[in-house]
């Protein structure tokens, strides 16, 4: 255990050049006192670790020291072969490159670990598309992926969601990243600054399947190093879900209905509603829930059956009452 931690410490200092005791302790999940003991052990083993004393001090390797302790264990190699989604690599046009990389990694591994690719593939398979949906591979995805990799601007034609909004539009974009969500590809990008608009626009999300034309320019753009694709997508996904939930319904749920609510509607909306709900002396919870519209609320909440009573609005309550009467008639 300690040997693996010492190796990781050397690799961290090799990659980041200098780290404080607190930073090393956080990365290695040990105390700063343990870090000090480990540094002493490395020094005694001949690894040139230098300590800068003082509040702003830290640890660094001196003399351009680089370790050759980069051999992989079985669990590390298996994790590497699981790090990509095969269908995503194929969609991006990277399946040949990924195959070549796997061969090179396999060739570099210890002979006892050469079978880790087959071992991982027979135990785990990552299937990105959602259920009951045919996977969509947009034909222009490889071109966009190439632009994302090389930080090149693109000129695109984009089909709006509603043709009444004007059909197709033309855009110059700086493509920052691609996201695969439930079988659909999305592009995070922004409009570059020009003479009329000296500031870049905020980042926006475009559905790749709606691009009808993509032309990759030779011109590169200066990538904003502060952009975090994962954090941006999480924020956008949450904002998108909230933007759809414009309609409120009031429900009275049994204990079973309250437990099942988060499995039939948006989980964040369910958690928010339940957190603000009130429980009566019969154990039923009354909540105010946000849904997209009446039709969506009806189709989703119907799955709760008698575990959910709609109190309002009246139009939705009447739809549920009618559904209950018709269902009861079937079983009389």
Strand partners, 289: 249
Of the pLDDT bands very low, low, confident and very high (cuts 50, 70, 90), residue 303 is: very high
CA distance 98 to 303: 43
What's the sign of the alpha-carbon dihedral 125, 131, 137, 138? negative
Other C-beta atoms closer than 10 Å to the C-beta of 23 total 16
Greater confidence, 201 or 19? 19
* pLDDT of 98 over the 60 cut: yes
Strand partners, 104: none
Greater confidence, 68 or 213? 213
Tell me, rounded to whole angstroms, the distance of Cα 134 from its chain centroid: 21
Helices (H), the chain: 2-16, 21-28, 32-44, 74-81, 86-91, 95-108, 116-121, 141-150, 229-244, 255-260, 267-275, 294-301, 314-331
* pLDDT of 75 over the 80 cut: no
What's the sign of the alpha-carbon dihedral 79, 81, 83, 86? negative
Contacts of residue 267, defined as CB under 8 A and 6 or more positions apart, other chains included, come to: none
> What's the pLDDT tens digit per position in 239-296?
877 777 788 999 999 999 999 999 998 888 899 899 999 999 999 999 999 888 899 8
DSSP state of 163: G
CA distance 207 to 191: 15
What's the sign of the alpha-carbon dihedral 135, 128, 232, 15? negative
CA distance 293 to 202: 29
CA distance 233 to 179: 8
Residues 61-88 have a mean pLDDT of 67
CA distance 63 to 72: 26
Q: Which of these, 79, 76, 97, lies nearest to 88 by C-alpha position? A: 97
Percent of the chain exceeding pLDDT 90 equals: 33
DSSP state of 313: S
Greater confidence, 7 or 216? 216
Contacts of residue 310, defined as CB under 8 A and 6 or more positions apart, other chains included, come to: 249, 250, 251, 301, 316, 317, 320
Of the pLDDT bands very low, low, confident and very high (cuts 50, 70, 90), residue 299 is: very high
Tell me, rounded to whole angstroms, the distance of Cα 331 from its chain centroid: 46
Q: Quote the pLDDT of residue 49.
A: 87
């Amino acid at each position: 255990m300690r040997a693996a931690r010492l190796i990781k410490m050397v690799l961290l200092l090799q990659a980041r050049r200098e780290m404080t005791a607190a930073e090393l302790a956080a990365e290695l999940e040990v105390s700063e006192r343990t870090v000090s003991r480990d540094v002493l052990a490395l020094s005694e083993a001949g690894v040139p670790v230098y300590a800068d004393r003082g509040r702003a001090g830290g640890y660094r390797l001196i003399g351009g020291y680089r370790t050759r302790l980069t051999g992989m264990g079985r669990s590390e190699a298996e994790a590497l072969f699981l790090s990509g989604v095969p269908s995503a690599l194929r969609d991006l046009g990277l399946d040949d490159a990924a195959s070549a990389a796997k061969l090179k990694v396999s060739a570099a591994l210890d002979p006892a670990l050469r079978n880790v690719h087959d071992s991982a593939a027979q135990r785990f398979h990552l299937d990105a598309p959602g259920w009951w949906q045919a996977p969509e591979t947009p034909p222009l995805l490889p071109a966009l992926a190439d632009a994302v990799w090389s930080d090149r601007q693109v000129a695109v034609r984009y089909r709006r969601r509603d043709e009444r909004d004007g059909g197709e539009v033309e855009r110059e974009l700086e493509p920052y990243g691609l996201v695969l969500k439930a079988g659909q590809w999305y592009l995070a990008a922004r409009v570059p600054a020009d003479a009329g608009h000296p500031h870049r626009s905020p980042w926006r999300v475009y559905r790749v399947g709606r691009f009808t034309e993509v032309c990759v320019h030779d011109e590169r753009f200066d990538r904003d190093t502060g952009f975090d694709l994962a954090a941006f997508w999480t924020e956008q996904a949450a904002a998108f879900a909230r933007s759809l939930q414009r309609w409120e319904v009031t429900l009275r749920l049994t204990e079973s209905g309250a437990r099942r609510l988060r499995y039939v509607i948006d989980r964040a909306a369910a958690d928010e509603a339940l957190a603000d709900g009130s429980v009566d002396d019969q154990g039923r919870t009354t909540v105010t829930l946000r849904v997209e519209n009446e039709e969506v609320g009806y189709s989703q909440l119907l799955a709760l059956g008698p575990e959910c009573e709609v109190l309002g609005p009246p139009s939705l309550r009447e739809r549920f009452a009618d559904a209950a009467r018709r269902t009861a008639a079937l079983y009389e």
